[in-house]
Amino acid sequence: MNYHISDKLPKFEQFAILHEASGLIKSKKGSYTKEQLFQAAKNSWYHISIYDNDKLIAFGRMISDGIYQALICDVMVDPDYQKQGLGKQIIEELVTKCKTSGIQSIQLFSAKGKKQFYHKLGFEERELDAPGMSLTI
């Protein structure tokens, strides 16, 4: 396996193919084009990509103020490459970036069915009397 990691943004075509293959695009609230989702990735504070030769097989990104808060977004792994530790590797790379930047608070919204995956990596659910909340408009 010839996997390599990059903190450079992948090409639009690669990003769009992975977004579609991973099923992440279907879980988005609202209707966004692939171009808009790519622009969101471009606007991120940090992103990490894993490639098998030239094929993008895993991706994750964060938005942050660069000081004390970060939000992990859009962690996706090509279904043909799941169960190989690539999602874990993406999260570890994102957390390492936070540690080296002094960020101590990392948030994320988990896709349905992925809660245990994040628990294994040390993430905890918010307290019941301090829930995470969202507003969809």
Which are the catalytic amino acids? 118
C-alpha to C-alpha distance for 68 and 105, rounded to whole angstroms = 6
Give the tokens for residue 114: 């992925």
Helix boundaries (H) for the chain: 12-22, 34-42, 86-101, 115-120
CA dist 118 and 92 (Å) reads 11
C-beta neighbour count of 137 within 10 angstroms: 4
10's CB contacts (< 8 A; 6+ apart) are: 18, 49, 56, 59
Q: How far apart are the C-alpha atoms of 55 and 93, rounded to whole Å?
A: 19
